[in-house]
Structure 1
Amino acid sequence: MSGRVLVVDDNKVIRQLIRVNLELEGFEVVTAADGAECLEIVHQVAPDVITLDVVMPRLDGLQTASRLRADARTRQLPVAMISACTQVEVDRGRALGVDAFLAKPFEPAELVKLVGRLMSQGAAGAAAPGDAEPAVRPTG
Structure 2
Amino acid sequence: MSGRVLVVDDNRVIRQLIRVNLELEGFEVVTAADGAECLKVVHEVRPDVITLDVVMPRLDGLRTAARLRSDARTGRVPIAIISACTRHEVDTGVAAGVDAFLAKPFEPAELVRLVRRLVYGEDPPSMDGRHGAGRAESTRG
TM-score normalised over the length of structure 1: 0.85
2:104 match? 104
What CA distance in whole angstroms lies between the structure 1 residues aligned with 2:110 and 2:121? 16
Query: For structure 2, which runs of at least 5 residues remain unmatched after alignment?
Result: 123-141
Per the TM alignment, residue 121 of structure 1 is displaced from its structure 2 partner at its CA by 3.2
Greater Cα radius of gyration, structure 1 or 2: 2
SS at match of 1:41: helix
| Letter matched to residue 35 of structure 2 | G
Which string of whole-angstrom CA distances, capped at 9 and with x for unpartnered residues, describes residues 54-101 of structure 1? 000000000000000000000000000000010000000001100000
What CA distance in whole angstroms lies between the structure 2 residues aligned with 1:64 and 1:117? 22
What CA distance in whole angstroms lies between the structure 2 residues aligned with 1:120 and 1:22? 14
Q: Which runs of 4+ in 1 moved over 6 A?
A: none
Query: What does residue range 1-140 of structure 1 map to in structure 2 within 5 Å?
Result: 2-121=2-121
What CA distance in whole angstroms lies between the structure 1 residues aligned with 2:120 and 2:28? 15
Per the TM alignment, residue 2 of structure 1 is displaced from its structure 2 partner at its CA by 1.2
What CA distance in whole angstroms lies between the structure 2 residues aligned with 1:63 and 1:117? 24
What CA distance in whole angstroms lies between the structure 2 residues aligned with 1:38 and 1:96? 16
2:131 match? none
TM-score normalised over the length of structure 2: 0.85
Q: Once the two structures are aligned, what percentage of the paired residues are identical?
A: 80
1:129 match? none
